[in-house]
């Protein structure tokens, strides 16, 4: 049978052309693929060094200088007043306002609640399943509920931009809790029942020989510049629909002037659902991006399902959940200028050169309801490390 196939292929113009190409490679010719140096892993619990948990307060963590940070998890437990107390889906977004990464008390990167939502919506389904189980799902009646939230600052998304805490100046993480609203339509739960709030860190360490080679390669010049990204949030826009309205719409003027990789548009009602207690993302029916008097793109409901285009030509989107079981991060609209990959900078747009950039947002609305529309932008950023002092800072945004 093999002789029949080989004989047929020998007379194929296509196969002969491919065989003559420089790209031809026989996979059975043994060659070793890229191999990483053997290294040690250390899992460490980091307790807060200062601050407090409560209404609008901040909690500070001083990170240990144990090696290269490859994972950071925020964990806490909510102790409820009664055995029958439950928590709605997405309670973490109503508890945490923002998380900051600081170097010598200077902020270098921020993840707001909306940034976390945008990040999670970009996960593959298998990645999202873990986040949903540990951080997003509604919690049934119990005396306590434990949450584990991955804090994946954009620097940690690429293996060669992860922070080496042993070399860098002291790093800190600051958690800012939400401010509890006093109105009857409160959408934020009180943070006072939180206990056992910790960071769980995963560090990586190489042998002395490999560490010396890494430091020599990275810091032979006075300064190491690393291309990564960070998040920027436009100011929230509130829209109140009138009686009889079935469609909500608003034009969001973009004030940012940085180089944007992707726009994320989040539409949510300002108050929680009376039945579930959740503040779910609402389906977006239209996103229209204009600038300098021209239409750059217009995406309807179907187009938005294919917005997250990957390296292989296929699009991906996390499953939409029911209002009763989730916050529907799959409904977050995305205008993607490159490809959906965290490993490469595939494209960006400098908003500095675009006159009056604006995104029109339309969604299915209910009469006499107030909505919050947030535009999150993932932008390119260059982080600099001083070879002499280990000073780590944001060197260039645009």
Q: Are residues 240 and 167 in the same domain?
A: no
Residue whose C-alpha is closest to residue 148's, from 223, 105, 208, 202: 202
Tell me what the mean pLDDT of segment 101-105 comes to: 92
pLDDT of residue 187: 45
Assign 81 a pLDDT band (cuts: 50, 70, 90): confident
Tell me what the mean pLDDT of segment 17-41 comes to: 89
Query: What DSSP state is assigned to residue 315?
Result: B
Structure tokens at 312: 């292989």
Task: Compute the mean pLDDT over every residue in the chain, rounded to the nearest whole number.
Answer: 89
**Counting Cβ atoms within 10 Å, is residue 4 exposed (0-12), middle (13-18) or buried (19+)?**
exposed
In whole angstroms, give the CA distance from residue 79 to residue 191. Answer: 10
Q: Are residues 263 and 366 in the same domain?
A: yes
Quote the domain boundaries for residue 179: 40-224
Least confident range from 24-28, 109-113, 232-236, 291-295: namely 24-28
- Which CATH number covers residue 261? 2.70.9.10
pLDDT tens digits for range 32-60: 888 899 999 999 999 999 999 988 899 99
Residue 8 included in any domain: no
pLDDT tens digits for range 124-148: 999 999 999 999 998 888 888 999 9
The residue written with tokens 């407090």 in the block is: 52
Tell me what the mean pLDDT of segment 202-208 comes to: 95
Q: Is the Cβ–Cβ distance between 368 and 249 less than 8 Å?
A: no
Q: Are residues 177 and 247 in the same domain?
A: no
How much of the chain exceeds pLDDT 70, in percent?
92
Q: Is the Cβ–Cβ distance between 68 and 205 less than 8 Å?
A: yes
Of 18-22, 221-225, 315-319, which one has max mean pLDDT? 221-225
In whole angstroms, give the CA distance from residue 133 to residue 119. Answer: 16
358-364 vs 247-253, strand pairing mode? antiparallel
User: Where is the domain boundary, 224, 248, 268?
Assistant: 224
Assign 391 a pLDDT band (cuts: 50, 70, 90): very high
pTM exceeding the 0.85 threshold for the entire prediction:
yes
pLDDT of residue 366: 82
In whole angstroms, give the CA distance from residue 16 to residue 90. Answer: 57
Count structural domains, the chain.
Answer: 2
Q: Are residues 239 and 296 in the same domain?
A: yes
pLDDT tens digits for range 292-348: 999 999 999 999 999 999 988 999 888 766 555 578 999 999 999 999 888 888 899
Q: Are residues 269 and 179 in the same domain?
A: no
* Residues paired with residue 73 on neighbouring β-strands, in sequence order: 150, 200
Residue 7 included in any domain: no
Q: Is the Cβ–Cβ distance between 119 and 261 less than 8 Å?
A: no
In whole angstroms, give the CA distance from residue 398 to residue 395. Answer: 10
């Amino acid at each position: 049978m093999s002789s029949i196939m080989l004989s047929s292929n020998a007379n194929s113009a296509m196969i002969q052309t491919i065989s003559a190409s420089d790209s031809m490679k026989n996979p059975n010719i043994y060659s070793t693929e890229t191999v990483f140096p053997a290294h040690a892993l250390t899992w460490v619990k980091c307790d807060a060094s200062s601050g407090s948990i409560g209404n609008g307060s901040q909690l500070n963590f001083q990170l240990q200088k144990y090696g290269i940070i490859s994972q950071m998890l925020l964990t806490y437990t909510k102790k409820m007043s009664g055995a029958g107390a439950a928590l709605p889906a997405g309670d973490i977004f109503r508890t945490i306002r923002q998380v900051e990464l600081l170097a010598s008390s200077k902020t270098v990167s921020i993840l707001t609640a909306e940034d976390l939502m945008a990040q999670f919506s970009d996960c593959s389904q298998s990645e999202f399943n873990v986040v949903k189980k540990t951080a997003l799902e509604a919690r049934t009646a119990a005396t306590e509920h434990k949450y584990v939230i991955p804090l994946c600052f954009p620097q940690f998304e690429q293996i060669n931009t992860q922070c080496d805490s042993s070399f860098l100046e002291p790093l800190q993480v600051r958690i800012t809790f939400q401010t509890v609203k006093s109105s009857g339509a409160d959408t934020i739960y009180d943070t006072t029942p939180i206990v056992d709030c910790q960071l769980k860190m995963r560090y990586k360490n190489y042998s002395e020989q490999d560490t010396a080679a890494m430091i020599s390669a990275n810091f032979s010049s006075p300064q190491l510049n690393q291309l990564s990204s960070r998040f920027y949030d436009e100011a929230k826009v509130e829209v109140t629909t009138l009686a009889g309205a079935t469609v909500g719409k608003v034009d969001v003027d973009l004030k940012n002037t940085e180089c944007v990789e992707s726009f994320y548009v989040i539409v949510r009602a300002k108050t929680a659902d009376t039945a579930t207690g959740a503040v779910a993302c609402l389906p977006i029916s239209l996103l229209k991006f204009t600038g300098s008097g021209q239409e750059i793109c217009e995406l309807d409901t179907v187009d938005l399902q294919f917005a997250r285009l990957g390296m292989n030509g296929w699009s991906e989107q996390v499953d939409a959940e029911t209002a009763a079981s989730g916050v529907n991060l799959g409904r977050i609209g995305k205008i993607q200028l490159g490809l959906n990959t965290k490993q490469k900078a595939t494209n960006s747009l400098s908003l500095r050169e675009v006159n009056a950039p604006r995104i029109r947002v339309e969604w299915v609305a209910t009469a006499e309801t107030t909505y919050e529309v947030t535009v999150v932008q993932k932008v390119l950023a260059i982080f600099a490390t001083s070879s002499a002092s280990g000073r780590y800072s944001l060197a260039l945004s645009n």
